Structure formats: structure tokens, C-alpha cells
Amino acid sequence: MDWINDCHVHLMGKEKPAELLRGMDRNKVEKCIVFAPICPNDTMQETVEADDFAAKIQKTAPKRFYGFVRINPTLPGACTEIERGIKKLKLRGVKMLPKKWYPHGEEARKSYELINTLGVPMLFHSGILWMKGAMSTYCRPAYYEALYDYPKVKFALAHIGWPWTDECIAVAHRFWTGDFNRKQCIIDTTSGAPRIWKADALKKALSILPPDCIMFGSDFWPWHKDYRACVDADLSIYGELGVTKAYLQKIFSSNFDNFFKPPKQARKGV
């Protein structure tokens, strides 16, 4: 692959923009979504500082860094912070990680209603959680069917929902070709699953999902010396599956840009 786009990069809060750009150039990453740093104590003060940092990084190279608000929708003032992040800081989307709250719960839905009005995409953690004390049960892919009620929100499910990869693929399939009939759900192929599971999941996803539904993410730092090994690991799976160059171009590049376009209603009967 030549230059690629990456939908899943975590900022740590200490990065220097020039170093990030040099690493991206070295590893041929044109654009990446960068999430505001993780908030260890999950407070609003931490959240505001994290979102400010993501905005600072984005401002240095807005054509290459696509900053996302990081928010816990159960925090008091969550909607106010989302609106500040999108309208004032000019961040491009919203990242959520369900930790002791459900994606289909009432408080989350309040945030979705606002995001639906703002018309920006969302990216969710889905699948197993490795954080201390966290419970993976909140992150099952089927819970994200709640987003059907917010038709202007295009959303991505990270890690193919591992270990619920079949469930994740089924949710995406329902949005694109099932009774939901809306091109709204994207699968973020960021690793998490061991290779044997990821290869199986990608084989299944490629067999029933349209090319526009799958998007590359790394969960890695494009400025890291081993970044390209992460890309090559996915390419080796796609090579074994016989994926065409045109399809790879969508997964690794153009679907990133499409993620920021409003979802389209599928043709009736599809």
C-alpha cells in the first residue's frame, strides 16, 4: 500500500506536532483521527483539558489531524462539552468508550440527540475492555443499534467488536442491507483480536458487507518505528483472502473521507 489513512489513534497528551508529522510521513500516513487523551479519573476537568489538547494538535495541521472529542455521556455537562468541542474547538467527531454505562441508555441518548443535530461522526469502542475494573459487557455491538434513532450520525465500531465479531458484522449488515436500510454503521478494523480471530472476522465481513463499510484503524501511533508492521499484518490477511487493490484502496484510504459525509438511506428493497 502507498499512503493510507488511519481512523483510530490515541493521543497521550505529551506529543509534539512536528514529531507526529515526521512519523506520519515516514510511515506514509496522510491523515488520521486522533482521540483526545484518556481521562484516568473520568472527570469533566480532565475531559476539558484532553479535548483542548486534541484541538491544539489538530490546529497545527487540520488537513492531516482529525481531532475527536472524548466524552463520558454520564458526566454532568457532557452535552455542553460536546458542543464546545465541535463548535468552538472545531473538532471533527466524538469518541465514546462505554465503561459502566450502556450505549443504549438514556444519558447516552441525550448526547446522540445533540450529535445528530451537529452532524458529526462518532467512533465507539466495542468488544472486550482491558482497562482495570472495566466491564466488557457494556460494549457489546448489538447495543449500538440504538443509533438507528439518530439518522444523521454515522458511527464506527472499533475492533470488529471482538470477541463478538459475528455480532458486530451482523449489526453492520443490518444497517446497510437489512431492515434498517441505512448506510450508517462502519466497521473499524483496529486490532484487538488475535490474528486467527481477526482473519476469520475479516473473511466473514468481506463476504457480506459492501466495500464502503470497512475502514482501517491501527490503535497504534503512526510516528512509532513499528507502525508499518501493524499495517502489514492486516495486508497479509487481505492478501490471503484475495482482496483486490480497488477494495484495499477503500479500506485504507477513501472510506476515511466518506466517514465524514452524512449517512445515506439505502435504496428501497436493498
Written as nine digits, the cell of 48 is 476539558
pLDDT per residue as tens digits for the range 234-267 = 999 999 999 999 999 999 999 999 999 988 765 5
pLDDT reported for residue 133 = 66
pLDDT reported for residue 269 = 40
Give the Cα separation of 96 and 119 in Å (integer): 16
Distances in Å between the alpha carbon of 135 and those of 16, 74, 101, 197? 33, 16, 10, 21
Written as nine digits, the cell of 33 is 483521527
The Cβ of residue 16 has, within 10 Å, a number of other Cβ atoms equal to 11
CATH class entry, domain 4-265: alpha beta
pLDDT per residue as tens digits for the range 143-172 = 999 999 999 999 999 999 999 999 999 999
Partnered with residue 188 across adjacent β-strands are 215
pLDDT per residue as tens digits for the range 33-66 = 999 999 999 999 999 999 999 999 999 999 999 9
First to last CA, the chain: 32
pLDDT per residue as tens digits for the range 13-33 = 999 999 999 999 999 999 999
Range of weakest confidence among 38-42, 133-137, 167-171, 206-210: 133-137
pLDDT reported for residue 266 = 52
Give the Cα separation of 67 and 82 in Å (integer): 13
The pTM for the full model equals 0.95
